[in-house]
A and B are shown apart, each in its own frame.
Chain A
Amino acid sequence: MQSVKIVVTGPFNAGKTTFIKSVSEITVLSTEREVTDTSSPAGGETTVAMDFGRITISDEVVLYIFGTPGQERFSFMWETLSEGMLGFVLLVDATDESSMGDAAAIVSFFRNMSSVPFVIAANRVGDGDEALETIHERLGLEPSVELLAVDARDRESVKNVLLALLYRILESME
């Protein structure tokens, strides 16, 4: 059985756990706790260790998806979770401008830590292209970095993001 690993990262409350749950065939193993930061609009729970999802591609291949905790104080987990990954998805919340700085720091961290391909997925996008362009600018990314809109709750939408990443990975191998 060949296994392949992809990491989903992004700022706190970007929707990473939902993203993985949408496409995973198993109950996502998630170590979460209730949010105690009352200043945050997030509410609910946040991941403190990792999310873990799985997609069985065939009898021979299985795709593992790991979600990182979003808060930087758990960044010691990022390196661990990223070892051996084929690529990563940076998930950002398009409606949360305040998280763009964190997103930029995270993508910088990952790009410096590993040279694997990645794509940016913008969750909760409102006005499509315009919002995407804004995000691109806010993250300070070069135009070649692919940025897609995604609905983390929608399986097909999540699949499209993963496929875009896989194409990037394929390109990098060529």
Chain B
Amino acid sequence: MALRGSLTDFSLPDVFQLITFSRKTGVLRIRSGVDASGAVWFRDGEVFFAQSNWHHEPLGERLVAARKITPSALEKALGIRAAEPDGGRRLGQVLVDEGYITEKVLEAFVQEQIQDTIFDLMRWESGEFDFELLPEVVDEDIGLTVSIENVIMEGSRRLDEWARIKKKVPSMDVVFKMATAPGEGTFEISLKPVEWSLLLLVDGTRSVAELARATGRTDFEVARILYGLFSAGLLEFAVEETATPPAELPAAPEPETGPESALAEEFPVESEPGPEHAPEPESDLIFLPPEPVPADDMLVEVEAMTEEPPAPVIEAEHELLEADVVPQAAPAPETRPEPEVPGFLAGPAPVVEPTDDVTSFAEMMGVTFGPVEEKSHAEPAPAEPAPEPGVESAAREGTLEPWAPEGTEPEAVTPEPEPQFEEHQLESGPEIERAAAEPETVAELRPELETRAEEPDFSELLESLESLEEPTEEVAADEAAGGFVPRAADVETVVPESPPALLNERVEELGADLSEMTDEIGALTGGRTSRPQVNVTSIPERDQGTALKRDEAVDKTLVLKIIDGLRKL
């Protein structure tokens, strides 16, 4: 008898625990909305495979991204794999047999792939699940075992970080743009290739979810990178876009249906479309290096850029990078479990003067770009370039993803015409009682998860700092006296309005509650919402006084408590 139910009634960790404790062998299929589905395979209660059609990165691409293999090695392995008869070796095995990677590396990456998939599934707050018993292990079983406890813990750890990331990336519909005043623009910063490619796609129109689709990475990865870029002051909210209702955002590409689609999902595209099929950049300039640029070469150095304005190159890179990251069939579920957009962000679309992000980038870097076509932010984001059908199918045929299930559970990734969850829905009965009773480990885990979900984060810190003085003219004077004075060159520069100040203005117009905007920076600075306007190179002199004061809400009793608690730790 199948085990079926709703994720609103039973969380996925609960279901995992139930299957694990009953040591069942079978496949757990999860569906959220009409086009998002995933499946987790169990052998005697232990996970050995997982996949979803939401976001997934094929094994080969993971290995290339991690520089475990070269793109040419992947291409060769895919060629060998394609020549194998049905039921032949999978890509991973081919790579091992050809000596490109070791078994250990293969297992590590497959485990990571499984964990990433399950983590994505665990974020679904609504949907339906259906566990089907299988009499024996199936083709997907490659002998790997993933401890469900570890998977849940890893998911919880990531959720813990996710909860923090949400402070700055509160929704997958949030839109970022390049900051107009990135930390005074006097420092140099190096970026990883993935961060660089993502930064180039941040244009003030793409939401976080769209960036994830465009780069083929998970929401978590993209949100984490954006968090870092935002924290470093390179990004700011595109206010006018965040106010756009999510429904107006460009729809994600619909998953194809039918046998071909199922095949496509089972055998995702491993290689990039050939250059002849890549959308041609609008610019005539084609200076894009053929190979990924080493991180060293991506050093953004203001002086160098000023001496030799590379604007056309950047423009060309931008265009081609967009072309390179053609989204795969990554359907977005209708009921994507995203954190709610704060009220002030979800309000009516404010009238905001359009800004040119490229120009902003130029201002940031102190370089002059060529004529740039002005984009209206009121317009929906441009549709992502899509490969031609012919190219897509050819790529599928030639580039198979061996670690995806083959020929055995196509329905795992293909939405069924009609849900079949009514008949045996677990709204009552012994199974529910069994799950509701919660195995001991679940009971132990749950408080931890709840604690993490409700942890005070920086709002607690803000409360503790509320007693401190609000930034006043006196403080500003102190700061000025404390040496945080821009150099003469900086003083002469017209400093653009700081992002939080702009945001505050919009919030006031919308009549929203400013407290909703609290983020780490605001908390850490005692409620000050502006980014620090500090010159990097100006260190205060010894006799210029101190600008910062300790948290005066903390007294001796509290310190003694901390000492006592730390000793017992």
Interface residues in chain A, defined as those with a beta carbon under 8 Å from any beta carbon in chain B: 1-5, 23, 26-27, 29, 31, 33-34, 36, 38, 48-50, 52, 54-55, 57-58, 60-64, 66, 72-77, 79-87, 105, 108-109, 111-116, 159, 162-163, 166-167, 169-170, 173-174
Q: Check if A167 sits within 8 Å of B563, measured CB to CB.
A: yes
Q: Check if B562 sits within 8 Å of A61, measured CB to CB.
A: yes
User: How many Å from the CB of A64 to the closest CB on chain B?
Assistant: 6
Chain B residue with Cβ nearest A32: B228
Among B161, B231, B565, the residue within 8 A (CB) of A27 is B161
Given A3-B460, A63-B562, A113-B547, A86 and B187 contact (CB-CB distance below 8 Å): no
Is B253 among interface residues, defined by CB-CB distance under 8 A? no
Q: Check if B461 sits within 8 Å of A3, measured CB to CB.
A: yes
Set of chain B residues within 8 Å of A83, measured between Cβ atoms:
465, 524-526, 528, 548
Set of chain A residues within 8 Å of B463, measured between Cβ atoms:
1, 3
Set of chain B residues within 8 Å of A1, measured between Cβ atoms:
456, 460, 463
Q: Check if A79 sits within 8 Å of B484, measured CB to CB.
A: yes
Chain B residue with Cβ nearest A25: B569
Q: Check if B521 sits within 8 Å of A2, measured CB to CB.
A: no
Chain A residue with Cβ nearest B528: A83
Give Cα distance in the complex from A38 to B483, angstroms: 33
User: How many Å from the CB of A79 to the closest CB on chain B?
Assistant: 6
Q: Check if B561 sits within 8 Å of A114, measured CB to CB.
A: no
Is B277 among interface residues, defined by CB-CB distance under 8 A? no
Q: Check if A113 sits within 8 Å of B231, measured CB to CB.
A: no
Among B537, B542, B555, B559, the residue within 8 A (CB) of A108 is B542
Give Cα distance in the complex from A52 to B457, angstroms: 10
User: How many Å from the CB of A91 to the closest CB on chain B?
Assistant: 18
Among A4, A5, A27, A50, the residue within 8 A (CB) of B157 is A27
Set of chain A residues within 8 Å of B555, measured between Cβ atoms:
173
User: How many Å from the CB of A143 to the closest CB on chain B?
Assistant: 18
Is B539 among interface residues, defined by CB-CB distance under 8 A? yes
Is B192 among interface residues, defined by CB-CB distance under 8 A? yes
User: How many Å from the CB of A105 to the closest CB on chain B?
Assistant: 7
User: How many Å from the CB of B322 to the closest CB on chain A?
Assistant: 23
Give Cα distance in the complex from A77 to B563, angstroms: 28
Among A36, A57, A74, A86, the residue within 8 A (CB) of B565 is A57
Set of chain B residues within 8 Å of A66, measured between Cβ atoms:
524
Q: Check if A31 sits within 8 Å of B227, measured CB to CB.
A: yes
Set of chain B residues within 8 Å of A115, measured between Cβ atoms:
546, 549-550
Chain B residue with Cβ nearest A167: B563
Set of chain A residues within 8 Å of B187, measured between Cβ atoms:
73-74, 76
Q: Check if B521 sits within 8 Å of A4, measured CB to CB.
A: no
Chain A residue with Cβ nearest B525: A83
Set of chain A residues within 8 Å of B525, measured between Cβ atoms:
80, 83
Given A29-B161, A36-B295, A36-B299, A113 and B232 contact (CB-CB distance below 8 Å): no
Set of chain B residues within 8 Å of A26, measured between Cβ atoms:
160, 452
Is B554 among interface residues, defined by CB-CB distance under 8 A? yes
Q: Check if B483 sits within 8 Å of A112, measured CB to CB.
A: yes
Give Cα distance in the complex from A119 to B569, angstroms: 21
Q: Give the 9 A-B residue pairs with the shortest CB-CB distance, closest first.
A: A57-B565, A31-B228, A114-B548, A49-B231, A73-B187, A84-B551, A112-B540, A3-B460, A76-B534
Set of chain A residues within 8 Å of B228, measured between Cβ atoms:
31, 33, 48-49
Given A29-B164, A49-B231, A166 and B563 contact (CB-CB distance below 8 Å): yes
User: How many Å from the CB of B235 to the closest CB on chain A?
Assistant: 12
Among B183, B532, B544, B562, the residue within 8 A (CB) of A112 is B544
